[in-house]
Amino acid sequence: MTRILIATGNAHKTAEIRQILGPDFEVSDLSQYPGIPVPVETGETFLENATIKAVEVSVHFDGLVLSDDSGLEVDALGGAPGVRSARYAGEKASDGENRAKLLLELDRIEKNEGISRAARFHCVMVLARGGEKLASFDGCVEGTIIAECKGGGGFGYDPLFIPEGYGETFAELPGEIKNGLSHRARALEKARSFLRAR
């Protein structure tokens, strides 16, 4: 069994990664290692932030570290919220506050000029060990932003996002379906292939 530390304290993200990776991987996160400092995300891109997290955490952990930086990119907002997805409505914003700001911004534009609600979830993962980056992996899923939240599952922007080819939001779809087609699943599949080939 391969041991991997996920460079996050986000329990939702860890649970999703654990489910996608399956039983061949022993997955833990920073909540189990309170002595490891949480890196500050100062990058301008998902890759920069994922690299910062993986490399810095791997200095303090004897084993493989996998980081994930991901977010929602909305075409009508020039790719926002992007790397600021978790902090879109402010540094301490809740998921609900971030979703409310997103809808407000889209409504404001739509009233003036009419817009496409095309968007995508984008994920970049970085694998590191001993302070060195080993590889990076990315995944995207295209879809549409709807006008009001639907569904009680998932987290973040999931209740507003309908993936291409489906009629339900990520928050309405069963976990096994979402985890089979999500941006995180696509990046993780590449990471898993890389790890199995080592």
75 in catalytic set: no
Residue 134 belongs to a domain with what CATH number?
A: 3.90.950.10
Provide the pLDDT for residue 73: 98
Indicate whether 86 pLDDT > 70: yes
pLDDT of residue 113: 67
Residue 47 has pLDDT above 80, yes or no: yes
| Full domain range(s) for residue 101 | 2-197
For the chain, what is the domain count?
1
Q: Using 50, 70 and 90 to split pLDDT, how confident is the model at 20?
A: confident
Share of the chain above pLDDT 90, in %: 77
Is 7 exposed, middle or buried (CB count within 10 Å of its CB: 0-12, 13-18, 19+)? buried
Average the pLDDT over 42-53 and give the result.
96
Q: Which of 24, 62, 68, 69 is catalytic?
A: 69
What phi-psi label fits residue 8: left (phi over 0), alpha (psi between -120 and 50 degrees) or beta? beta
Please compute the mean of the pLDDT values over residues 6-24 and round it to a whole number: 89
